[in-house]
Chain A
Amino acid sequence: MALDDRKSQFTFVGTSPDRPDGLDKVTGRAKYGADAYAPGMLHGAILRSPHAHARIVKIDTSKAEAHKDVKAVVTRADFAKVPFKPGLEGEFWNVLENVMAGDKALYDGHAVAAVAATSALSARDALKLIDVEYEVLPHVTDVDKAMAPDAPVIREGAADYSVPEGMHPNVVRYHESGHGDVEAGFAEADLVIEDRFVTEATHQGYIEPHACLASLGNDGKGELWCTTQGHWIAQKTCAALLGIETAQLRVSASEIGGGFGGKTTVFIEPVALALSRKANRPVKIVMTRSEVFRATGPTSSASMDVKIGMKKDGTISAAQGVFRLQGGAFPGAPGDLTAMCAFAPYNLTNVKQTGYDVMSNRPKQAAYRAPGAPMAAFAVESVIDEMCNELGLDPVEVRLKNAAHEGTKASFGPRYERIGLVETLEAAKAHPHYSAPLKPGQGRGISCGFWFNHGGETSVSLALSEDGSAQLMVGTPDIGGSRASMALMAAEVLGIPYENIRVTIADTATLGYNDVSHGSRVTYASGLATIKAAHHAVEKLCERAAAKWGIPVDAVKWENGCAVPSGSNAGDFDPMPLADITADMGSTGGPISGHFEATPEGAGVSFGTHIVDAEVDPETGKTSITRYTVIQDAGKAIHPSYVEGQFQGGAAQGIGWALNEEYVYGEDGRLQNSIFLDYRVPVASDLPMIDTVIVEVPNPGHPFGVRGVGETGIVPPLAAIANAVSNAAGVRMRQLPMSPPRILAALKGNG
C-alpha cells in the first residue's frame, strides 16, 4: 500500500463532532437486538443443564410438544451433522456442541433443548415440561486441577498436534516461544524473583443480553437479525450448523449494546433458526442475564508462574513465564496470546514463554478485550514492581530502560516497526499524577500493556448521490461511535462536510465479507477501507472532470472537495466541486462509487502505560481507586472523544476485574453468582474521573497513522491496581480479584 497520501494536516480528522447515530440513541428509537418484532412471531426459550458434567441419557419432549401454545421443540437432532475434528480445526463442531449439547452436558447452563411458543411466558412454562434424564459425571472447574492426572476428562481427542505427549487430555493446545538463553540470563542477574499468580474468570458484562429474531424456511432461505460484533461470521456459522448455503442466509446486525469480544460468536441464533424452520414462523429469542452469565463467554481463568532476573541498574537479564488458561469445555483459551503478550513491552536478550489451553466444565470462554494480555501483564508487571521496590529503583525508569522500540526483536518473534511505548512512559513520567504526593494509606502503581491489534477481511462501499452527498456502507457493527470516525475519514478524502456523509452498517446481502468488530480493528481496517474507497471514488471524479475540461486525467488533482487542473499543460479552469460532477453523472458515465475489498495487514501494535492511586481500608479490606490516568498510543486519534472513551472504558473494566469481579463456582460445579447483584461490575459511585493522555505515534500501516485503541486499555489496569494496592497495604497481592476478604486475609498473613 502506498502511503505517500498521508497528510500532515487534517481538516476533519482529529475533531470530535456529534455522532451520526446520536439522536436515535438518546431518544430510545435505536433498534437493538431485542427491539425487533415480526408478523406471526413466536418466542423461543432454551432449557439448560443444571449439572456441570452429565451424560444425557434421554430427553422426552412429548409433554412440551403437547402444550397448546408450543409450535416447535428442538434438540441436537434438529441441527446439521457437523463432523468432529480435534483442537480448533473443528470450530464449527465446537460451536454446535456449545449451542446445543450432544451426548453430554459439559457445564452448568449448557443448552440441551429449546421450544418456540406463542408467548414468552408460554415458552418458559413449556421448558418445565421437558424431561431430561442425566447421568451425573465427575466435574472439574479449576485450571490447575483440570491438568492434574486424576482430573475427569472433558472430551478425549480434543487436543491438537501442539500438545506434548504425556499431558492430560484436558490440555488441548500448547505454545512455546522466546529467544536467547534464559538460564544464562538468570545467572547474570543480581536479583531473581519468581512468583505464582492467579486470576478468576470475569464476564464481558455487556448490558445488552444476546437477542435475535430468526426466520428460516425449508427452502433453505433465511433472515436473521441479531446483536453481534460480526454478522458475516454469524452468517457463516449459522449456515454450517443448519446445513444451508451461506449466501441464502441474510444477516442484519442490530445496534449492539456492548460486546467487548463476547459477541464474536453465536449462541442463540442457530437455535432460533432451527425452531423457525420447524415451526415455519419467525422466532425471537432473548437471553436472561442469568443465561448470559451461565452460558456465554466469560474470559479464561488463569494460573501463572513468572520469573524475572534483573541487574542492579534495572536491566532485565532474563524473563520466563508459564501461563495456564482455563477456557471452559472447548478448545480456544488464549494460552498462546497470553504467553506472547507477557513480555512484549520489553527489549529482552533472554526470554521464554509457555502457554497452555486447558478445558474444564465451564462455559466456552470468549474473547474479552485483548484476550489473555491483562492476565499476563498482571503477573509480569507485578514481578517488575516487586523488583523495583527491592532494588530501590523508579518503576517508570526501569520500564524505560528495558522498553521495546523500533527494531526491537519482540518476545514473540518479529521486529517492531515504529511503536510508541517509550512515548507513553515519557508522558507518564512528565504527568503531574506521577509526582503528586500520596496520602497515608494510599499506594501508587504503574503498569505497561501491549496488544497486537488486528487487520482482518474488510469490504467497504461508498456511493455518491447527485446532490453531492455520500453514503458509506461498512460491515463492522458500530459499538462505540465508529460511524463518526468512518464519516470523518471519508470527509477528509472527499473534501465534503462530515454531515454530508451517511454511514450505514450494511447487512450480509449488500456488502462483501467483513471480519468481526474485534481486535481493535474497526478504525484501523474499516477506516483504511473507507479511505481507499473514497480515493477510488475521487479517481472517477477526476476522470469526469478531465473529460469535461478535455484534458488528460493525470492533469487533474483533487483538493478541498474539488477537481482542479494541475501541471503546466493542464489549462486554466475554475475548481469543479464534487456536487457539480455528481449532478450530471448519469449522463457523463453513470453512478460514481468507490470500493475496497482486501485484508489490511499493517494494524500496528499498541502500547499503553497506566498510573493509579489506591487507598486500602485496613479495617474492612475495601479498596478505593482515588486517581487514575490512562496514557496510550492511538497512532492518530480520528475522533478524540471516542478514543478517550475507549481508554476510560478499558480502565473501568480493568478496575472491576482487579477488585470485584469473579466467577464463583460451588463444589457442585454450578455458577453461584449469575446476576448483577452478585457479580458486581463497577458502578458510578465506585470510580473516580479517569484522566487520559492520547499519545500519537503514527502507525506506518495506515494512511492517517491510526492504531486500534479498543483493547490495550484493559491490559495495564490489573497490574497497575495490584501494584498500587500492594504498595498501599504493604503486602503483595498475587490473586485477583483483590476483594475485601482477600485483602484482609493478606493483611493478617503479613501481620
Chain B
Amino acid sequence: MSKFHVTTQVNGDEVEFLCDPRETLLDCLRDKLNLTGAKEGCGTGDCGACSVSVDGRLVCSCLMLGVEAEGKTIETVEGLADGEVLHPLQQKFIERAALQCGICTPGILVAAKALLEKNPDPTEEETRYWLAGNLCRCTGYDKIIRAVMETAAEMREAS
C-alpha cells in the first residue's frame, strides 16, 4: 500500500512524514516524529494516555489517523513547557506527588491544560468529569484532582 505525505505543525514546528493510511496519529507522533511522550495504553480511546490537542481540541491520538493531521496544529506534552520553564501544571504535579508510575501523566497534563483553558475555575466535580477519560491506576486520582485545582487557583491569582 502506498504511503501518504503529511505536512502538519507539532508544538510550533512544521513537520512532515510519510504514513500508511492505517497508522494512527499516535503511531506517527511516536514512530515517525520521535515524540514518545504520548503513550498507547489501550488503542481504543478509553484510557487517554495518548491525549493531544489538535486545533485546540482535546483528542485521543490513537483514534485519529495520521493522514488526518494534514494542515492541523497539534500540541503534545513535549510542548507544554515554555523553554526551561515548566507549565504550572507540570510543576504542581511534581510538588504534589500527583504521579506515581507516570505513564498516564502526559495525557493527564494535556487534558488538564485543556480544561483550564476552557474553565479556569473548575469545581472538583467538573475536574473529575473532565478527567474521566484519563485512566490512572496508581494514585486513586486524589492528588491529581488536588494538583489541578490548586494550579487553577494559582493561575487565576497570577492573571
Contacts of B99 on A, CB cut-off 8 Å? Answer: 22, 25-26
Kindly report which residue of chain A lies nearest to residue B90, judged by CB atoms.
A26
**Separation of A365 and B101 alpha carbons in the complex (Å):** 22
In the bound complex, do residue A207 and residue B94 qualify as a contact, i.e. CB atoms below 8 Å apart?
no
Q: Lowest 6 A-B CB distances belong to which pairs?
A: A28-B37, A257-B103, A652-B140, A25-B102, A22-B94, A676-B46
**Separation of A587 and B39 alpha carbons in the complex (Å):** 49
Contacts of A689 on B, CB cut-off 8 Å? Answer: 124, 142, 145-146
In the bound complex, do residue B97 and residue A16 qualify as a contact, i.e. CB atoms below 8 Å apart?
yes
Contacts of B47 on A, CB cut-off 8 Å? Answer: 207, 289, 676
Identify the stretch in A101-109, A418-426, A641-649 within 8 Å (CB) of chain B at 4 or more residues: A641-649
**Separation of A35 and B77 alpha carbons in the complex (Å):** 15
Contacts of A480 on B, CB cut-off 8 Å? Answer: 100-101, 138
Q: Which residues of chain B from 16 to 63 have a CB within 8 Å of any chain A CB? A: 20, 22-23, 27, 30-31, 34-44, 46-47, 49
Other-chain residue from B38, B42, B134, B144 in contact with A675 (beta carbon distance below 8 A): B42
In the bound complex, do residue A34 and residue B39 qualify as a contact, i.e. CB atoms below 8 Å apart?
yes
Contact with B along A55-83 (1 / 0, CB 8 A): 00000000000000000000000000000
Other-chain residue from B38, B41, B140 in contact with A648 (beta carbon distance below 8 A): B140
Question: What's the least CB distance linking A406 to chain B, in Å?
Answer: 31
Question: What's the least CB distance linking B15 to chain A, in Å?
Answer: 16
Name A residues whose Cβ lies closer than 8 Å to a Cβ of B: 16, 18-19, 21-23, 25-32, 34-35, 37, 119-121, 204-209, 255-260, 286, 288-289, 479-481, 641-642, 644-646, 648-649, 651-653, 675-677, 681-687, 689-690
Query: Secondary structure of the A side of the interface?
Result: loop
Question: What's the least CB distance linking B97 to chain A, in Å?
Answer: 4
**Separation of A258 and B76 alpha carbons in the complex (Å):** 22
In the bound complex, do residue B100 and residue A289 qualify as a contact, i.e. CB atoms below 8 Å apart?
no
**Separation of A256 and B101 alpha carbons in the complex (Å):** 6
Name B residues whose Cβ lies closer than 8 Å to a Cβ of A: 20, 22-23, 27, 30-31, 34-44, 46-47, 49, 76-78, 80-81, 86, 90-91, 93-97, 99-106, 109, 124-125, 127-129, 131-146
Other-chain residue from A23, A288, A652, A653 in contact with B43 (beta carbon distance below 8 A): A288
Other-chain residue from A21, A31, A207, A288 in contact with B137 (beta carbon distance below 8 A): A207
Kindly report which residue of chain A lies nearest to residue B127, judged by CB atoms.
A684
In the bound complex, do residue B109 and residue A18 qualify as a contact, i.e. CB atoms below 8 Å apart?
no
In the bound complex, do residue B141 and residue A209 qualify as a contact, i.e. CB atoms below 8 Å apart?
no
Question: What's the least CB distance linking B119 to chain A, in Å?
Answer: 15
In the bound complex, do residue B144 and residue A684 qualify as a contact, i.e. CB atoms below 8 Å apart?
yes
In the bound complex, do residue B132 and residue A19 qualify as a contact, i.e. CB atoms below 8 Å apart?
no
Question: What's the least CB distance linking A48 to chain B, in Å?
Answer: 16
**Separation of A675 and B43 alpha carbons in the complex (Å):** 9
Question: What's the least CB distance linking B24 to chain A, in Å?
Answer: 11
Contacts of B109 on A, CB cut-off 8 Å? Answer: 26
A-B contact pairs, 26 of them (CB 8 A): A16-B97, A19-B97, A21-B102, A22-B99, A26-B91, A26-B93, A27-B78, A27-B86, A34-B39, A35-B30, A206-B101, A207-B41, A207-B136, A258-B100, A258-B101, A645-B139, A645-B143, A648-B140, A648-B143, A649-B139, A653-B140, A684-B134, A684-B144, A685-B131, A687-B128, A689-B142
In the bound complex, do residue B40 and residue A652 qualify as a contact, i.e. CB atoms below 8 Å apart?
no
Contacts of A119 on B, CB cut-off 8 Å? Answer: 20
**Separation of A677 and B86 alpha carbons in the complex (Å):** 33
A18, A21, A37, A676: which has the most chain B beta carbons within 10 Å?
A676
Kindly report which residue of chain B lies nearest to residue A650, judged by CB atoms.
B140
In the bound complex, do residue A26 and residue B94 qualify as a contact, i.e. CB atoms below 8 Å apart?
yes
